């Protein structure tokens, strides 16, 4: 193969970092949702922390709600909120293109998982920290 970069057989495809919204992200470094923000970031994700009571989390701009996110597509959503709030968040998520939903322990209300699946979203009851290999 030619090393000439003008060779039409050589294609450079743009890549993008995967995206994740951490719903219920905490500014408390001891909370699992804060650790998830760090773990996703350290795993190469573009992270969007969502918490109406925080300005930034782990040096990242924090968003008041899902509807305030600067993107219309997310590869993943990690839920760290109680079921009642999770159900409300699903309504906002329906306005976005979502790859999958991970509901962390404590946010893994079966009604939320079922509602997400009815929306056509792959939804899983699992711990993001475990999936990312973070000891906790």
In SS3 terms, the chain reads as: CCCCCCCCCCCCCCCCCCEEEEECCCCCCCCHHHHHHHHHHHCCCEEEEECCCCCEECCEECECCHHHCCCCEEEEEEECCCHHHHHHHHHHHCCCEEEEEEECCCCCCHHHHHHHHHCCCCEEECCHHHHCCCCC
Give CATH for domain 19-131: 3.40.50.720
pLDDT at position 36 is: 97
pLDDT at position 135 is: 83
pLDDT at position 15 is: 52
pLDDT at position 89 is: 95
pLDDT at position 29 is: 96
Residue ranges in the chain whose pLDDT is less than 50: 1-14
pLDDT at position 12 is: 44
Threshold 0.85, pTM exceeds? yes
pLDDT at position 136 is: 80
């Amino acid at each position: 193969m030619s090393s000439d970069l003008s060779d039409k057989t050589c294609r450079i495809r743009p890549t993008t970092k995967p995206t994740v919204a951490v719903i219920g992200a905490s500014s408390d470094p001891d909370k699992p949702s804060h650790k998830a923000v760090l773990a996703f970031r350290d795993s190469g994700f573009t992270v969007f922390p969502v918490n109406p009571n925080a300005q930034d989390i782990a040096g990242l701009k924090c968003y008041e709600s899902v509807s305030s996110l600067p993107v219309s597509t997310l590869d993943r959503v990690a839920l760290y909120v109680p079921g009642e709030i999770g159900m409300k968040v699903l309504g906002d998520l329906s306005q976005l293109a979502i790859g999958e939903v991970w509901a962390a322990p404590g946010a893994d209300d079966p009604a939320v998982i079922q509602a997400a699946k009815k929306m056509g979203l792959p939804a899983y009851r699992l711990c993001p920290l475990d999936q990312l290999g973070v000891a906790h």
